[in-house]
Amino acid sequence: MSQSELHRDFHDLGKLSAADAGKVVWVRARIANVRAKGNSCFLVLRQGPFETVQACYFKDKSAPERSKAMLKFMGGLTCESVVDVQGTLQAAQVKSCSVTDVELSIQRVYVVSSAEAILPFQLEDAGRPEVEVEASQSTDRPFPRIGQELRLDNRWLDLRVPANNCIMRIQSGVCQLFRESLYAEGFVEIHTPKLIGGESEGGAGVFKTDYFGRPACLAQSPQLYKQMAVSADLGRVFEIGPVFRAENSNTRRHLCEFTGLDLEMTLDEHYNEVLAIAHRMFKHIFEGLETRFAKELAIIREQYASDPVAFTDGPCIVHWPEAIRMLREEGGMPEVGELEDLTGAQELRLGELVKKRHGADFFILDKYPSAVRPFYTMPCPSDAAYSNSYDMFLRGQEICSGAQRIHDPDLLTRTIAAKGLPMEPLESYVNAFRHGVPPHGGAGIGLERVVFLYLGLDNVRKASMFPRDPNRCEP
Amino acid sequence: MSQSELHRDFHDLGKLSAADAGKVVWVRARIANVRAKGNSCFLVLRQGPFETVQACYFKDKSAPERSKAMLKFMGGLTCESVVDVQGTLQAAQVKSCSVTDVELSIQRVYVVSSAEAILPFQLEDAGRPEVEVEASQSTDRPFPRIGQELRLDNRWLDLRVPANNCIMRIQSGVCQLFRESLYAEGFVEIHTPKLIGGESEGGAGVFKTDYFGRPACLAQSPQLYKQMAVSADLGRVFEIGPVFRAENSNTRRHLCEFTGLDLEMTLDEHYNEVLAIAHRMFKHIFEGLETRFAKELAIIREQYASDPVAFTDGPCIVHWPEAIRMLREEGGMPEVGELEDLTGAQELRLGELVKKRHGADFFILDKYPSAVRPFYTMPCPSDAAYSNSYDMFLRGQEICSGAQRIHDPDLLTRTIAAKGLPMEPLESYVNAFRHGVPPHGGAGIGLERVVFLYLGLDNVRKASMFPRDPNRCEP
């Protein structure tokens, strides 16, 4: 309980240095490790994902009783407890901590918050690269494998693992960079409703709820609403918000709730304007991560190895027919259909081929067949079998989907009929275009997808703070 | 459909000036008004909430047929249609438009998107100050009253009204300034799940859904999750995201879905640290709005009159017992209870008294009685009848609620029991504190509340893009 201010004037571990040797300081930190042996006790203190320091206490012969009690107390400290430590800085050489040139000679220790002695897993075990864990299995002392479910059941603990903690900081950075880029292009932030009246906004995979006696469902995307924001003369809009998909997909890249980074904008002449803005935006994210989040990336890459993403200066655009030709001729996949959607394997292969040809891990596949895109996608003017739509790929997997949208209510009505969809639930959507709306297009991006593919992780769940899948809705 | 790029090189209306008289330009804009009379036609063209320009066409005696057809075509143009207009800039004096020193002499007009001839309401009518509308009722030509439901049914049209459009831009600005302030203080952005397993996270007012055969509900706040983020050593976190309240409240200040601005942070010594950060954050928002969004505010205040918010440089804190004394003695409300929550009327009165005494529209009411706060609120160490919690008020209404949280699992267990709450649904929440968690506190802010109170609007729905209340879940 906040009582009075004690003026302990806590120090950041990262700022401790041998230059201050002799000074008495207070630090608040977690206990990462305790080694008590006879007449001494060594603690490793940790602050966040970046900093650790060694703190030590030796038996004081001039005060044997107090000293004995202190050693007993310290030996009983548990890992992950939060403590306030007062100590004198003294020059030292400590290889195993981030603070290498100084340690704390302990005078006082107070427990601020005590962790249970038996934790679900040790952070040290949870923080080892998987290759090390696997390599150890054939030795005398195999490292324990810390499974995903155990980690997720205790996610607050799992996220203290430095690499995992930094993944969350990278997630934050992606949002920050996304917005920076779009603010610079004149975008306005919007917040669209997640509760939508009616049985469904179209299609399966919808979570339903009772809304004061009437049916409602959770938004599968802000699509309709961001288009209405354009109709409302906001010009260029973006939203960062949750997206809900009640799809029973248990894969490494699907979530039932994820964070959508959405944008929508008027077009002057061509939907290439969206591609240009989206490309600049991703470039800003990739460059910003490597420069402004280098410390976080270094820590993540110690546990999960990955190279920075290779990308081109201008948009690297591959048109659909060219992609099909590449897959058939160079990719050894003659079975690829001309107007069918690509499988995950085909997408990965295409990613390899584009990497070989253009040196890029990041590219745009443009002009998708109309048959595999939603009804609101603008057909290609020269061939209605194709559409003014695209996906963006990172390391061979989709991170973004976008298109020019149909803004003409009559064309929209005809497209809905041609797709064999019922008109009635889409009536109000179409009506929203009857009061005049400028040509527009946009993009929808999955935040967790961007993070997990950028970092070359094996599972999207690692990029979600509290992932939701068909088997998990807690903690 | 994007075909080829036409290179029309559209001009922003705001950049047209008499200095360019004689130049031929293209503009894309909405038609705000059409006046056709015999041999001439005048259009008012509008871009977004800020800019209008006059465009005119006169019968050309040298091409009478073409000219006649042109006048007929232009006379049939509908308000709110989007058009591409090519014309010659010519010096003029136009009082009724934002561009006052130049007009467009029209050469060509293309309809990009046609609006229906009969709109649900005219923007001009929807954009009049209410006092003008009311004053006109006793005259020969009363202005139509455009009701809230009709506006909300056609929200994309209602938001084209310049003041309403700018309210959305202010909403965007509040989020931007909120984040700017917190980034500067070392906060990390998080995204917590909105789908929560189980029947309820506690209390009534929860939207429920079926989650693959199991019960789940929509988050009423990110409370638990932002606390777990602190436990996960993210230190200082914020989130901007939707919050769901299935409360059957039909008031001017409640919504069933709103945007929460949440923050949570470790405390070194005292929860005053949260108050200081929240105060600086609001100051940054208020100052940023007046300086960086002055154009938007000016347009809003033309329709909805309001003064800037008066605020103090440091936090203006009123402690609970002092507030009760003020209400009883100066406020003429002897009936106010010592440990009961304030009514809306009492809060408004308190706002007046604080304004009189401190000159501030913005203040913090600190040390709420424990009885009226949630179970996770830290009791006040000197008197458990009070708590380490506060609300922030703007113009006499609550915009923010916050507290130090209980981080000790045993104290938390005792508080839950003392409040008479069932332990079972809160078990996992309490368990999350058993692995060590630093002392922490935070704040929860309603975005739409901040916007509607800052602007002195009469209804929170005006500050929500697509408001949700017990009677409305569409569009």
A6-18 pLDDT tens trace: 677 899 999 999 9
pLDDT of residue B230: 97
CB B467 within 8 A of CB B255: yes
Strand order in the sheet with A397-404: A188-189, A236-244, A257-266, A440-446, A397-404, A389-394, A362-366, A317-319
CA-based max dimension of chain A: 93
* Least Cα separation, residue A241 to chain B (angstroms): 6
Strand partners, A440: A266
B434 CA: distance to closest CA in chain A (Å): 6
Q: How many CB pairs under 8 A join A and B?
A: 304
Interface probe with B: pick from A5, A81, A234, A415, most Cβ of B within 10 Å: A234
Q: How confident is the model at residue A465 (pLDDT cuts 50, 70, 90)?
A: very high
Q: Which position among B28, B145, B155, B253 bears the catalytic label?
A: B253
A200 is an active site residue: no
Residue B253 bears catalytic tag:
yes
A245 included as an active-site residue: yes
The rounded distance, in Å, linking the Cα atoms of A330 and A350 is 10
Residues in chain A closer than 8 A to B7 (CB atoms): 269
A chain contacts of residue B5, beta-carbon cutoff 8 Å = 269-270, 272
- Mean pLDDT to the nearest integer, A121-129: 96
β-bridge partners, B102: B91
Quick check: is A30 catalytic? no
- Cβ within 8 Å, pair B183-A176: yes
Query: Residue B472 catalytic?
Result: no
**ipTM score assigned to the predicted complex:** 0.95
pLDDT tens digit string along A142-196?
A: 999 999 999 999 999 999 999 999 999 999 999 999 999 999 999 999 999 999 9
Helix axes A447-454, A162-183, angle to 10 degrees: 120
Chain-chain contact of A195 with B465 (C-beta, under 8 angstroms): no
Which one of A51, A80, A201, A398 is the catalytic residue?
Answer: A398
Dist. CA A154–CA A460, nearest whole Å? 17
- The partner residues of B25 in beta bridges, in order of sequence, read B87
H helices then E strands: how many in chain B? 14, 16
pLDDT tens per residue, range A184-239: 999 999 999 999 988 665 567 899 999 999 999 999 999 999 999 999 999 999 99
Model confidence at A423, pLDDT cuts 50, 70, 90, reads confident
Q: H/E/C letters for each residue in A89-133?
A: EEECCCCCCCCCCEEEEEEEEEEEECECCCCCCCHHHHCCCHHHH
- To 10 degrees, the CA torsion angle through B317, B322, B323, B328? -160
The rounded radius of gyration (Å) of the Cα atoms in chain B is 28
Helical H segments across A330-474, by residue range? 344-358, 409-418, 427-431, 447-454
Strands B389-394 and B397-404: antiparallel
Pairwise CB contact (< 8 Å): A207 & B212: no
Residue whose C-alpha is closest to residue B159's, from A268, A196, A220, A437? A437
Is the pLDDT at A429 greater than 90? The verdict is: no
Q: What does the CA dihedral A416, A419, A421, A424 come to, rounded to 10 degrees?
A: 10
Query: Could you say which DSSP state residue B386 is in?
Result: B
User: Are the CB atoms for A265 and A250 separated by under 8 Å?
Assistant: no
CB contact under 8 A, B209 and A207: yes
Q: What domains does chain A contain, in order, with CATH numbers? A: 13-113 (2.40.50.140), 123-158 (no CATH), 162-463 (3.30.930.10)
To probe the interface with B, which of A12, A111, A195 has the most B CB atoms within 10 Å? A195
**3-state SS assignment for residue A294:** helix
User: Closest residue of A to B4, CA-based?
Assistant: A270
pLDDT by residue (tens digit) across A20-41?
Answer: 999 999 999 999 999 998 899 9
Alpha-helix runs per DSSP H in A268-420: 272-292, 294-303, 320-329, 344-358, 409-418
> What integer pLDDT is reported at residue A3 of this predicted model?
65
- Residue A259 with chain B: CB contacts under 8 Å: 191
Task: Please give the Cα distance from A338 to A402 (Å, whole number).
Answer: 20
pLDDT tens for chain B, 475 residues: list them: 666 666 778 999 999 999 999 999 999 999 999 999 889 999 999 999 999 999 999 998 898 899 999 999 999 999 999 999 999 999 999 999 999 999 999 999 999 999 999 999 999 999 999 999 999 999 999 999 999 999 999 999 999 999 999 999 999 999 999 999 999 999 999 999 999 988 665 567 899 999 999 999 999 999 999 999 999 999 999 999 999 999 998 999 999 999 999 999 999 999 999 999 999 999 999 999 999 999 999 999 999 999 999 999 999 999 999 999 999 999 999 999 999 999 999 999 999 999 999 999 999 999 999 999 999 999 999 999 999 999 999 999 999 999 999 999 999 999 999 988 888 878 888 988 999 999 999 999 999 999 999 999 999 999 999 999 999 999 9
Nearest to B277 by CA among B223, B225, B238: B238
CB atoms B207 and A209 under 8 Å = yes
A189: phi then psi, degrees, rounded to nearest 5: -85, 140
B11, B151, B236, B245: which one is catalytic?
B245
First vs last Cα of chain A: how many Å apart?
A: 26
CB contact under 8 A, B208 and A212: no
